[in-house]
Amino acid sequence: MANEPDNWDYSLPWYHGSPDGELEQLDADSAITQNESVARVFSHKPSLVSGSGNRVRHDGKIDPAYLYIIAEELEPKDVYRADFTGNQEHFEWHIKRSVKLQLVRQTRIDPAELLSAEDIAALREMARAMREGQT
- Give pLDDT tens digits for 100-121: 999 999 999 999 999 999 999 9
Report residue 1's pLDDT band, with 50, 70 and 90 as the boundaries: very low
Encode pLDDT of 64-93 as tens digits. Answer: 999 999 999 999 999 998 775 454 555 789
Residue-level pLDDT at 4: 41
Q: Which residues contact 3 (CB under 8 A, 6 or more apart)?
A: 89, 90
Q: Which helix (H) or strand (E) holds 103?
A: strand 99-107
pLDDT, averaged across the chain = 87
- 97: CATH: 3.20.170
Rounded to two decimals, the pTM is 0.82
Range of the domain at 111: 5-131
CA–CA separation, 14 vs 30, rounded Å? 12
The domain total for the chain is 1
